[in-house]
Amino acid sequence: MSSYLVLARKYRPKQFSDIVGQQSVVRTLVNAIQLKRTHQAYVFSGSRGIGKTSIARIFSKALRCPNVIERDGLLVSCDACSDCHEIASGTSVNVLEIDGASNNGVENVREIRENAKFLPSSGQYKIYIIDEVHMLSNQAFNALLKTLEEPPEHVVFIFATTESHKIPETILGRCQRFDFKRVTVAQIVERVTQVLNSEKIEFEPAALSLIARAAEGSMRDALSILDQVISFSGMRVSAIAVRDSIGLIGTELVLSLLTAVLERNAVPALSTLQTAFNQGVDLRALLKALIEMTHALLLLKAGVSEPETPFNSDEIASLKRLLDRRELEEIELIFQVYHHGLDLLSRAPQPKLVFDMLVIKTALAEALVRTGGGGEGKATESPRKNPVTEPRPVQQAGPATVSPAAVPSAPPPTAPIQSSAPTGLGFDFRASLSTPAPKVEPSTAVRSPVLAGGKTWEGMIQFATAARPVLGILLESVVEWTLPNGPEDKFRLGFRMKDRTKADQLQQKAMKDQFLLLTENYLGFKAQPEVFFSEIQSESLAERAEREDREQQENTMKRILSHEVVQEATSLFGARLTQVEVVKRNS
Ligand SMILES: Nc1ncnc2c1ncn2[C@@H]1O[C@H](COP(=O)(O)OP(=O)(O)OP(=O)(O)O)[C@@H](O)[C@H]1O
Ligand SMILES: [Mg+2]
Ligand SMILES: [Zn+2]
C-alpha cells in the first residue's frame, strides 16, 4: 500500500447504487431528474467523507450522460462516454468543480457568473460544484446571490459544505438543501466488506466493527484506517492488527474496568487501570472508550432496547447483565464524571493520577446519591426498583434521608477511602463528583419543580443538573441565551462553534424531549429549543466548572506530592505514587 488514500480514491462511488446510506438524498435527486424537476441550486451539507462530492459527481453524470438508463429505480450513467469520463476525472468544461476556499473573493464569483451565461458546449446542463462554499467572503456571497436570483436556465449549482451554518440565510433560502447523515457503523462495515472482498483480502468481522467505530461516521476515514491496517498487517485484517495499528482499546479491558466501578470495587478497578497503563495503553483513548460504554449503558438503563451503539450483541449482552448494579441517576453521574474528566486528563501533567481519581470517584458514586447531590430528592421520592436484602449501617457522612434501596448489599471495599479522603487529602470526592454543585436545594427543585417567578438561566441549569445531568452538561456550554416569554417563543441557545457536537446532541430527539420536559417543569411551559452559533468567546459555565475542577485537582496534587510519605514512596516506587498514597492512608 503506497499512499494513504488509496482505497478511498479507488472506491469512490461511481453510481447511485454504490452509495452507502444517504438514501433520502439519492431518492430525491433521482426523482427530480425522472420528473424533470431539478432545482437550480443545491446545498449538500454534512461532515467530512460522507459522500457529498461523490454524489455531486454522480448527479452531474446522471444529468449529462446521453446514455443514462434506469435500473432498480435508480439512474445509471454509462461511464463510457466522454461526459462520464471527464466528470469522473474533474476535467469537464460543463461540470466545473471549484474550490470555494481558494476562490472565495468577489472577483471569483463574478467570473463564475460571466462563465455561467454561456450555454454548455453540448447537452442541456452546465453544472457548478462549489466545494467548501462557506469560505466565500460576504461580498462574494452577495455576488452569488444575484446569480441565484435569476440563474440562466441551463445552470445547476451544487454547493458542498461541512459548515452550512456559515452560509447566509438569503443564499440557503434559494437552494434545495440536503443534510447528509454520518454513515452508521453497520453501513461502514457493509462497504468495507465489499472493498475487502474485491481486494481479495481476508478479514475477521470483529476487525471491521473496530474500524467502523474508529471512523466516527466518516466513510473516507474508515477506508483510510483500512489502508493503514493493511499496510501494517499485510493481507489479513484481524482485530488485533486493527488495535495495534491504530491504538484501539480492547472492549474486554473497558468492560472489566466499568464492571469493577459499577460493583464499587475500587481496588480491582485501579489495578486493571494500572495493568493497562503498564502495557502502554493510551489513557485518553481508554477514557473515551469508557465514556462510550457508559453512554451505551445509560441508553439501556433508560429502556432503549436496541441502542445505536458501537458495541456488538455479545458486548451489549454483557452490559445488560450490569444494568441492575446501579440506578439510572448513578450511571448518569458516572457518565458526567468521565465526561468532565476527559478534559482534565488531556491537560494533566500526569494523566494517570487523574484517571485514578476518576475511577475512585465513580466507584464511590453510590455514596453521592445516598448522601447528597442531585440524586437525593429523586431517591427519596421514588423508591428504587431493586430493593436490597441486607441493609448496612449508614456511614458517618450520611444524613438520615437514606433510601433503603440505595444501600448496597455488601460493605463496599472503597469505604475507607471515602471516609479518609475528604480530611486526608483536602479533597471532597462527593462534592467534586456533583460538579457543578447545584446551589438551590436539589431536593426542593426536584420535588416542587414549578417555581414562582424569578426564573434565571443559572437556576435552570442547576435544575437540569440535579434532574438530568447529561442535559445539564450540554446546557453548561451555552454562552448566550434568550429566555422565552411564553410557549409560542423559542428558547434560543447560542453555542460556540467549538461546542457544536454539544449543539448537535441537544437537537437529537431524546435530548430535545428532555429539554421540553425541563422547560415545562422549570418555566411552567414547554419551550422549543432553537440552537444557533454564537460569536461570544467567553468561558462557558462548563469550562468554568472544568477549570475549577482542574485547579482543585492541581491543589490536591500539590498536597499529595509534598506529603512526606509520598516523597519517600516516590523515591522507592516511582510511578506507583498515587496508589501508594491511597493505600497507605487507609491501611
Ligand atoms: N456514502 C458513501 N458511500 C460510499 N463511499 C463513500 C461514501 N461517502 C464517502 N465515501 C468514500 O469516501 C471517499 C470520499 O467521499 P467524498 O469525497 O464524497 O466525501 P465528501 O463528503 O465530499 O467529503 P469532504 O467534505 O471531505 O469533501 C469516497 O471516495 C468514497 O471512497
Ligand atoms: Mg467533498
Ligand atoms: Zn455516459
Calculate the average pLDDT of the chain.
79
Pocket test for ligand 1, best of 220, 221, 224, 226 (most atoms within 8 A of CB): 220
- Given a cut of 60, whether residue 583 has pLDDT beyond it is no
CA 394 to chain centre: 39
CA of 181 to the centre of ligand 1 (A): 12
488: buried, middle or exposed (CB in 10 Å: 19+, 13-18, 0-12)? exposed
Per-residue pLDDT at 278: 81
**What are φ and ψ of residue 241, in 5° steps?**
-60, -40
Percent of the chain with pLDDT over 90: 43
Per-residue pLDDT at 302: 87
* Cα 278 from Cα 273, distance rounded (Å): 9
Per-residue pLDDT at 536: 78
Q: Which fold has domain 22-179?
A: Rossmann fold (3.40.50)
- Given a cut of 80, whether residue 436 has pLDDT beyond it is no
One fold for both 22-179 and 251-421+548-557? no
Most confident of 48-57, 366-375, 388-397: 48-57
Tell me which of 45-54, 58-67, 424-433 is least confident. Answer: 424-433
Confidence grade of residue 354 (pLDDT, cut at 50, 70, 90): very high
Confidence grade of residue 451 (pLDDT, cut at 50, 70, 90): very low
Residue 292 · residue 258 · CB < 8 Å: no
Confidence grade of residue 521 (pLDDT, cut at 50, 70, 90): confident
Looking at ligand 1, which residue's alpha carbon is closest to its atom 13? 220
- Name the β-bridge partners of 43: 159, 177
* Cα 294 from Cα 300, distance rounded (Å): 10
Reported CATH class of domain 185-246: mainly alpha
Q: What is the value of pTM for the model shown?
A: 0.54
Residue 323 · residue 301 · CB < 8 Å: yes
- Which of 82, 78, 135, 75 has its CA nearest to residue 109? 135
Is ligand 1 within 6 A of the CB of residue 53? yes
CA of 53 to the centre of ligand 2 (A): 4
- Which of 356, 338, 248 has its CA nearest to residue 293? 338
User: Domain map of the chain by residue range?
Assistant: 22-179, 185-246, 251-421+548-557, 442-476+478-539
Residue 48 · residue 87 · CB < 8 Å: no
Could you tell me which residue, 386 or 68, shows the higher pLDDT? 68
DSSP 81: S
- Domain 251-421+548-557: give its CATH code: 1.20.272.10
- Given a cut of 70, whether residue 16 has pLDDT beyond it is yes
- Given a cut of 60, whether residue 399 has pLDDT beyond it is no
Looking at ligand 1, which residue's alpha carbon is closest to its atom 25? 48
